[in-house]
């Protein structure tokens, strides 16, 4: 499916957002976001990057609460990160705090 996105003209992909976790081992049923999603998100972003190469922008999402978790997502292959749950726990200035703390 990721290859098709590039063929059909997509500019980028958001990987992973909230996952429906029905039937996943060691993960509660239902929608999952935030910290419990971080490792799975990092894995999916790395997998997506391997498949799409540099053809599309890749937006990493899932369990980003601070500069180290954003950096891990960039290291996994994300070009950008998207915040959701982190904003709830850390407020509207989270993006500014993260961007000021990222390595240059």
**Global pTM value:** 0.81
Q: Residue holding tokens 């929608």?
A: 31
Render pLDDT for 17-58 as a digit per residue (tens, 0 to 9): 665 444 556 665 666 666 777 888 899 899 999 999 988 999
Where are any strands of DSSP class E within the chain? 12-15, 19-20, 31-32, 57-61, 80-82
| DSSP three-state, residue 38 | helix
Instruction: List Cα–Cα distances, 96 to 43, 70, 89, 101, in angstroms.
Output: 26, 12, 15, 9
Reported as a single tens digit per residue, the pLDDT across 53-92 is 988 999 998 889 999 999 999 999 999 999 988 898 899 9
The predicted pLDDT at position 94 comes to 95
Q: Where are the domains of the chain?
A: 2-101
Task: Name the CATH architecture for the domain at 2-101.
Answer: Alpha-Beta Barrel (3.20)
* CA 36 vs CA 21, 26, 27, 32, 42: distances in Å: 11, 10, 8, 7, 11
| Whether pLDDT at 8 is above 80 | no
């Amino acid at each position: 499916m990721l290859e098709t996105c590039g063929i059909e003209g997509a500019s980028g992909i958001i990987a992973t957002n909230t996952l429906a976790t029905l039937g996943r081992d060691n993960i509660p049923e239902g929608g999952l976001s935030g910290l419990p999603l971080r490792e799975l998100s990092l894995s999916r972003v790395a997998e997506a990057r391997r498949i799409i190469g540099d053809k599309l922008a890749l937006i990493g999402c899932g369990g980003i609460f601070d500069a180290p978790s954003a950096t891990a997502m960039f290291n996994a292959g994300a070009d950008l990160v998207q915040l959701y749950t982190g904003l709830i726990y850390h407020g509207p200035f989270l993006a500014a705090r993260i961007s000021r703390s990222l390595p240059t």
